[in-house]
Structure 1
Amino acid sequence: MKPPLGEYYDVNGRKLLLHREGSGGPAVVFLPGAGAVGMDYWDAQRQAAAFTTSVFYDRAGTGWSDGIDLPRSSTEATDELRALLDVAEIPGPYVLAGHSLGGLYARHYAIRFPGEVAGLVLMEPAHEDYRAYMPRELVERWDAWDPADALPDELPGEILEFYRVLFEQEMADWPAGLREPLVDSHVSREWLLTGIREAANVKAVHDEIRAAGPLPDVPMIILTAVAVDPFKRAVSAGASDELLQAETDGKTRLYNDFAASVPRGENRIVEDAGHVTLPFRRPEAAVRAIRDVLAQ
Structure 2
Amino acid sequence: METLRAATSGPAVIFLAGGGAVGRDYWNVHRKAAELATSVIYDRAGTGDGAPAELPRTSTEVTDELRGLLRDAAIDGPYVLVGHSLGGLYARHYAIRFPAEVAGLLLLDPAHEDYNAYMPQELRERWEGFDAAEAAAAFENLPDGVVQLYRGLFAQELAGWPAEVREPLIDYHVSPHGLKAGFQEASNVEQLYAEVRAAGPLPDVPLLVLSSTKVDPFKEVVSQGIPEALLQEEIDAKFRLYTDFANSVPRGEIRSVEAGHVTIHLRGEQAVRDAIADLLTSNQPTAGGEVRHESR
TM range (shorter): over 0.9
Q: What letter is aligned with 2:204? A: D
Distance apart, 1:186 and its partner CA:
0.9
Separation in structure 2 between the aligned mates of residue 283 and residue 190 of structure 1, nearest angstrom: 28
Equivalent position of 2:4 in the other structure: 20
Selected match of 2:254 from 267, 270, 286: 267
Partner of 1:170: 157
8 A Cα contact 1:33 1:98, kept in partner: yes
Contact 1:18 1:58 in 2 (8 A): no
Once the two structures are superposed, the pairs formed by residues 153-164 of structure 1 within 5 Å of their partners are 153-164=140-151
Matched, 1:201 2:188: yes
Cross-structure match for 2:35: 50
Q: Percent identity?
A: 60
User: Matches of 1:197 and 1:119 in 2, distance apart?
Assistant: 29
Question: Which residue in 2 is equivalent to 1:254?
Answer: 241
Q: 1:293 aligns with which of 275, 279, 282?
A: 279
- Does the alignment pair 1:277 with 2:263? yes
Which residue of 1 is the match for residue 57 of structure 2?
Answer: 72
Q: What's the TM-score, normalizing by structure 2?
A: 0.92
Q: TM-score, normalised by structure 1?
A: 0.92
1:85 maps to: 70
1:127 matches 2:127 = no
The reply on whether 1:218 has 2:205 as its aligned counterpart is: yes
DSSP 3-state at the match of 1:119 = strand
Q: What's the Cα RMSD here?
A: 1.0
Residue type at the aligned position of 2:186:
A
- Which amino acid in the other structure matches residue 19 of structure 2? A
Residue 137 in 1 paired to residue 137 in 2?
A: no
List structure 1 runs of 4+ shifted beyond 6 angstroms.
none
Check whether the contact 1:78–1:105 (CA below 8 A) recurs between aligned residues. yes
Worse-matched range after superposition: 100-109 or 229-238? 229-238
Partner of 1:30: 15
SS in 2 for 1:223: strand
Within 2, Cα distance between the matches of 1:66 and 1:116? 24
SS class of match (2:103): strand
Contact 2:133 2:187 (C-alpha < 8 Å) held by counterparts: no
Q: Choose the corresponding residue for 2:100, options 99, 115, 127.
A: 115
Task: Answer with 149-158 or 129-138: which moved more.
Answer: 149-158
Contact 1:221 1:259 in 2 (8 A): yes
Q: Which amino acid in 1 is paired with 2:214?
A: A
Cα distance in 2 between the residues matched to 1:43 and 1:257? 30
* 2:26 alignment partner, one of 41, 59, 71: 41
Deviation at 1:66, TM superposition (A): 2.1
**8 Å CA contact retained: 2:3, 2:38:** no
- Structure 2: how far apart are the matches of 1:182 and 1:242? 33
Structure 1 unaligned segments of length 5 or more: list them. 1-16
Query: How many residues are matched?
Result: 279
Whole-angstrom CA distance in 2 between matches of 1:149 and 1:158 = 19
The runs of 5 or more residues in structure 2 that have no matched partner are: 285-296
Deviation string 1:4-35 (CA, Å, 9 cap, x unpaired) is xxxxxxxxxxxxx3443424320000000100
How much does 1:148 deviate? 3.0
1:9 is matched with which residue?
A: none
Matched position secondary structure for 1:150: helix
- What one-letter code is carried by the residue in structure 2 that aligns with 1:199? A
Supply the distance in 2 between the matched residues of 1:235 and 1:190 (Cα, whole angstroms): 19
CA distance in 2, matches of 1:27, 1:96: 8
Query: Tell me, what secondary structure is at the counterpart of 2:152?
Result: helix
Residue 282 of structure 1 and its aligned partner are, at CA, apart by 1.5
- Asked whether the 8 Å contact 1:224–1:255 carries over to 2, the reply is yes
